[in-house]
């Protein structure tokens, strides 16, 4: 194989997700057959303890800074991964794009629809910059299988689609607050802004866009410990259930789509799921049982038998890991980054299973804004 092209990255926002990317880059040798690889040369965060973690673990990091503009001035930096709180997306993403750096951004890609529109208009003026938005769950073997099935369309008539992303750590009323539970940093979407892009990735990519939508939003825990012995307002939506009516883009009939994004879902640690029920073929997958893919093929008068298949390590990009092994969260991150790098280095390549595209983040904002409107008025709305 020819020498790999090295893409030099800066990370802005070096917290939970910044570190996941750094470690994925360090584990790049697990991927076989890719012609490019990331190298992290610069890191920016306001927290100096985090910066020193990168300094200790990555010899390639030559710049540590608390000023993201200094990172953007670094001519070594070709691309940026930006994982900062939602209230900073508009300014920092726009500045990254204006600086001509390629960008892997985080969801929801703007704290609200207006911020999203502003970022997209900066991108429109800088068409040479490659931008994608992170969403790793469709890279699980079951997410990939589901996307392949959707392209093959074996369902007969789709009866309904149910998808979502469920968390449960907020069941603990004693859990101290963080920025994700404060509307001024996290945004009016609350749990939908954090979890919605994950749940909507496959429906949006499939062209299953809600024509009508009703949203039920709840704020279950209204105060949380502030971590300093007191309490503070927890003013974000904890749980959201969207009931949508969706038109099949090729076949023209309507079917129901439910989208759940919940932080208080009993017993669900980090459960991403999708279920498609059809008259001829049905399938479901949940990261709760990450190896297991369930499906049912049906012919009139035949037995109605759900089957369960252990998928093993069935990834989009080939790795050194044996097919008999298990796949996990860090593997999904790795595969998502492989897709980003592949598309960045081969812009002409068709990428049906690639990362979220900028125009898809707009569709997500259309849906989530409609959900807010629906909940505020108690009405069915059209996104």
Ligand X SMILES: NC(=O)c1ccc[n+]([C@@H]2O[C@H](COP(=O)([O-])OP(=O)(O)OC[C@H]3O[C@@H](n4cnc5c(N)ncnc54)[C@H](O)[C@@H]3O)[C@@H](O)[C@H]2O)c1
> Which of 164, 154, 195, 197 lies closest to 283 in space, CA to CA?
154
Cβ proximity to ligand X: between 17 and 264 the closer is 17
Indicate whether 360 belongs to the interface with ligand X (CB under 6 A). no
Indicate whether 14 belongs to the interface with ligand X (CB under 6 A). yes
| Interface positions, 132-161, toward ligand X (CB under 6 A) | 134, 136
CB neighbours (10 Å) of residue 47?
12
Residue-wise DSSP of 222-248 = -EEE-SSSSEEE--S--EEEEEEEEE-
CA dist 139 and 317 (Å) reads 10
| Interface positions, 96-135, toward ligand X (CB under 6 A) | 106-107, 134
CB-based closest residue to ligand X: 15
Cβ proximity to ligand X: between 270 and 275 the closer is 270
Q: How far apart are the first and last CA of the chain?
A: 48
- 258 token code pair: 């439910």
Strand partners, 36: 5
> Which of 357, 350, 345, 354 lies closest to 317 in space, CA to CA?
354
Output the smallest distance, CB 379 to ligand X, in A: 28
Indicate whether 16 belongs to the interface with ligand X (CB under 6 A). yes
Output the smallest distance, CB 78 to ligand X, in A: 19
Cβ proximity to ligand X: between 213 and 355 the closer is 355
Indicate whether 47 belongs to the interface with ligand X (CB under 6 A). yes
Binding ligand X (rule: CB under 6 A), the pick from 9, 54, 68, 93 is: 68
CA dist 325 and 319 (Å) reads 11
CA dist 289 and 35 (Å) reads 33
Indicate whether 213 belongs to the interface with ligand X (CB under 6 A). no
Binding ligand X (rule: CB under 6 A), the pick from 23, 88, 122, 380 is: 88
Indicate whether 236 belongs to the interface with ligand X (CB under 6 A). no
Indicate whether 46 belongs to the interface with ligand X (CB under 6 A). yes
Q: Is 382 helix (H, G, I), strand (E, B) or coil?
A: coil
Q: Which residues bind ligand X (CB under 6 A)?
A: 12-17, 44-47, 50, 68, 83-86, 88, 106-107, 134, 136, 194
């Amino acid at each position: 194989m020819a020498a790999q092209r090295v893409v030099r990255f800066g990370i802005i926002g070096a917290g939970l997700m910044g570190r996941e990317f750094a470690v994925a880059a360090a584990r790049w040798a697990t991927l076989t057959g890719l012609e490019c690889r990331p190298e992290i040369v610069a890191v920016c965060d306001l927290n100096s303890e985090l910066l020193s973690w990168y300094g200790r673990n990555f010899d390639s990091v030559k710049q540590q800074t608390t000023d993201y503009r200094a990172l953007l001035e670094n001519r070594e930096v070709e691309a940026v991964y930006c994982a900062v709180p939602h209230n900073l997306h508009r300014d920092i993403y726009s500045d990254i794009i204006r600086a001509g750096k390629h960008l892997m951004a985080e969801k929801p890609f703007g704290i609200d629809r207006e911020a999203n529109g502003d970022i997209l208009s900066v991108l429109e003026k800088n068409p040479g910059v490659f931008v994608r938005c992170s969403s790793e769950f469709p890279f699980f073997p079951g997410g990939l299988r589901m996307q392949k099935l959707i392209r093959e369309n074996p369902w007969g008539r789709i009866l309904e689609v149910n998808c979502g992303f469920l968390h449960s750590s907020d069941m603990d009323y004693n859990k101290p607050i963080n920025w994700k539970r404060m509307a001024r940093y996290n945004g009016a979407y609350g749990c939908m802004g954090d979890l919605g892009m994950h749940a909507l990735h496959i429906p949006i990519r499939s062209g299953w866009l809600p024509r009508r939508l009703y949203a039920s939003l709840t704020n279950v825990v209204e105060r949380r410990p502030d971590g300093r012995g007191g309490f503070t307002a927890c003013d974000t939506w904890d749980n959201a259930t969207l009931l949508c009516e969706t038109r099949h883009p090729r076949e023209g009939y309507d079917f129901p789509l439910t989208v759940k994004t919940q932080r208080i879902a009993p017993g669900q640690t980090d459960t991403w799921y999708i279920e498609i029920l059809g008259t001829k073929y049905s399938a479901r997958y949940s990261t709760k049982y990450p190896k297991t893919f369930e499906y049912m093929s049906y012919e009139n008068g035949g037995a109605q038998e759900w089957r369960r298949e252990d998928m093993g390590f069935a990834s989009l990009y080939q790795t050194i890991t044996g097919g008999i092994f298990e796949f996990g969260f860090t593997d999904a991150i790795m595969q998502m980054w492989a897709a980003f790098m592949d598309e960045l280095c081969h812009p002409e390549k068709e990428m049906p299973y690639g990362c979220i595209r900028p125009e898809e983040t707009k569709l997500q904002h259309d849906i989530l804004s409609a959900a807010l409107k629906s909940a505020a008025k108690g009405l069915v709305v059209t996104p």
